[in-house]
Amino acid sequence: MPGPSGDRLIRVDMTQQSVEITAFPDDWKLLGGRALSARILLEECDAGCEPLGPDNVLVMAPGVISGTAAPTSGRISIGGKSPLTGGIKEANAGGDPGQDLMKLGYRAVIVTGQPADSDKRYAVDVTAEGASVKEVPDCKGMWNYALIEHLAKSYSKDASFVSIGPAGELQLTGSSVACTDGDKERRPARHAARGGLGAVMGSKGLKYLSVETGKARLRDPANRKEFLARGKTYTKAYREGPQMFKHGTSTVVPMANMLNTFPYKNRTEGQSPDVETLDGARIVESFEERGGEMHNCMTGCIVQCSNIVHDAEGNYKTSALEFETLTLLGANCAIASWEDVADLDRLCDEIGLDTVETGAAIAVYMDSGGMEFGDAEGAKALLKEIAEGTELGKMIGSGAVATGKKRGHKRVPAVKGQAIPAWDPRPLKATGVTYCTSPMGADHTAGLIVNPGLPEEEFARASQESQLVNAVCDSSGFCQFLQPSLDDIRAFYGDLYGEEVSRQQIADLGWQCLQDEWEFNRRAGLTSADDVMADCMQVDAIGPQQVVFDVSAEIVAQAYERCELRDELFTANATG
């Protein structure tokens, strides 16, 4: 099978329903995941195109290390021009499709065009022998869980899937792309959620992609002995360490509330009175009585940060009920119970929706008088309307900005058209600089800095450093929660290819990724005028210190001026 020097690209033309397999360029060998998606989009996608038109390009790119024996390394990047921001977007997901594509030597799936008949639905089947497109009329409109149960009847037990729900098929700009996890049930609970890329997949008539690995083995590194030893040492060190994500992100709720970054009622306050009943510790406590546990979302993961949540009867409800979801669908909507948020999370996974964007949209709707804050049952009914394609459902499914416009409501916490995630830019001003300057818009995974005491002169540098480190991590296939450093990543790269990768090279890879993304956005028409925080974040004060986002445009702009990485940045973890 193809190794690092014999890899391939799958090119799918949805206009013709045809597939071409091409060689992967040798000079791209250090590009994977986010960096590879950015390069493909910059070179092959007209940045001025209509995001839901035939000229947009959808990219599915595993990381460089995916498909190897390295721990927690199988993540995949879904990329395209975002219908939400109008700029470039990469959304990163776990699950098994990234691992499986790389085991077969496929570095990316590149989907172009769209079918003449928008009512038809198609699938792409990927095997070691190649790929093919087929029509799947029986899958039209199916919710994600029902879809995977349906597909399990006709694919091998080892197949993994990338799919969209009804929201993606309706091309709603808050829609996500689902990947099946590493459990035998293959639950579609791992979502490349942000930026509306589910709508891009839907615009191409693509309901799902399957990957059948057959007898494919893990990728064989050039320095196999050193690579395996490095992975073993890394795994041992991680397991003997503090394991920050032992119970996932849901248990950071009390800390976030203390820092005034657990927004309440459409971010009019930074703390929720329901912090106790939304704390992820309650989920962990439920395991003993109801069942459920912490598990790994992909094969080979040692972090196991994903919670499996059961209902009161002990039946599976959802998995990976994370901090962001508890915040945006919970506290931000004044919904008080984690169990109601679990119901909402399952509905979002089923319908194929970003929980951040959807929670923000519902909060805007509540804030504008459309529904009472705290109405959990009303929120669940809203999500079902999204699947049904009602006018109200389409509004909510199109995100916070669309909802604000339809409702004539001005308090819409978003940057570049994308809703602000849980981590609030008012107490965390360096994170606010990331939201303003990241090519992705308001996205905490692009560069989160949880340091409310950081001096103003450090905001831009801290943001740039975090953005660069996270770009490298999202390109590697490693999960950010594994907390690999730049030195860790370049060492794995070196053993994979049998050549040294220097600190300068790894830093340049991260910077070039950002440069490619910024250039795409420039070509798409985004300017410094788009690098602004939502007005409400600059006016609505929160916390004892009554903080607002008051970082000057001059400081924000400094994030674009490259700084040389300090030595300690090469050994710091990717979430730091």
Express each pLDDT in 272-294 by its tens digit: 999 999 999 999 999 999 999 98
Q: For the chain, what are the domain ranges?
A: 8-211
Q: Is 418 helix (H, G, I), strand (E, B) or coil?
A: strand
- Residue with the two structure tokens 């459920």: 292
Q: What pLDDT shows up at residue 565?
A: 87
Question: Is residue 4 scored above 80 in pLDDT?
Answer: no
Q: Say if residue 566's pLDDT is above 60.
A: yes
Higher pLDDT, 55 or 306: 55
Please write the tens of the pLDDT for every residue from 342-382: 999 999 999 999 999 999 999 999 999 999 999 999 999 99
Contact call for residues 388 and 450 (beta carbons, < 8 A): no
C-beta atoms surrounding 469 within 10 Å: 27
CB 344 within 8 A of CB 274: no
- pLDDT confidence bin for 1, thresholds 50/70/90: very low
Contacts for 221 with CB less than 8 Å, ≥ 6 apart? 4, 68, 227, 228, 495, 496, 497, 498
Judge whether residue 16 has pLDDT over 50. yes
Q: Examine the pLDDT at 575 and tell me if it is beyond 80.
A: no
Helix (H, G, I), strand (E, B) or coil at 89: strand
- Average pLDDT value for the chain: 95
The average pLDDT across 126-145 equals 98
Using N-to-C axis directions, what is the helix angle for 486-497 and 459-476, rounded to 10°? 30
Q: At what angle do helices 503-524 and 33-44 cross, to 10 degrees?
A: 40
Question: Is 304 or 486 the better-scoring residue by pLDDT?
Answer: 486
Q: What is the pLDDT of residue 567?
A: 87
Chain segment 188-227, per-residue pLDDT in tens = 999 999 999 999 999 999 999 999 999 999 999 999 999 9
Indicate if the pLDDT at residue 2 is higher than 90. Answer: no
Asked if 200 and 101 count as a contact pair (C-beta separation under 8 A), the reply is no
pLDDT computed for residue 3 by the predictor: 43
> How far, in Å, CA of 416 to CA of 531, rounded?
7
What 548-553 contacts at long range (C-beta under 8 Å, 24+ apart), as own/partner pairs, is: 548/426, 549/425, 549/426, 549/429, 549/432, 550/429, 551/429, 551/432, 551/433, 551/456, 551/459, 553/528
Alpha-carbon distance of 80 to 59, in angstroms, equals 6
Write the burial class of residue 566 (CB in 10 Å: 0-12 exposed, 13-18 middle, 19+ buried): exposed
Q: Which of 395, 415, 412 is nearest to 266 (CA)?
A: 412
Q: How far apart are CA 236 and CA 233, in angstroms?
A: 5
The average pLDDT across 313-317 equals 96
Q: Please state, for a pLDDT cut of 90, what percent of the chain lies above it.
A: 90
Please report the pLDDT score of residue 5 as a whole number: 56
Average pLDDT, stretch 545-556?
A: 97
As a whole number, mean pLDDT of residues 81-104 equals 97
Question: How far apart (Å, rounded) are the C-alpha atoms in residues 110 and 95?
Answer: 19
8-211 is classed CATH 3.40.50.10170: no
Over residues 148-177, the mean pLDDT reads: 97
Contact 272, 259 (CB under 8 A): no
Residue 491's pLDDT is 97
Rounded alpha-carbon distances, angstroms, from residue 302 to 180, 295, 305, 362? 18, 9, 9, 35
The answer to whether 176 and 168 are in contact (CB under 8 A) is yes
Q: What is the arithmetic mean of pLDDT over 11-16?
A: 98
* pLDDT, position 490: 97
User: What is the reported pLDDT for 508?
Assistant: 97
- Percentage of the chain exceeding pLDDT 70: 98
For 486-525, what is each residue's pLDDT tens digit? 999 999 999 999 999 999 999 999 999 999 999 999 999 9
Helices (H) and strands (E) counted in the chain, each on its own, are: 22, 17
pLDDT per residue as tens digits for the range 378-423: 999 999 999 999 999 999 999 999 999 999 999 999 999 999 999 9
What confidence category does residue 254 fall into, taking pLDDT thresholds of 50, 70 and 90?
very high
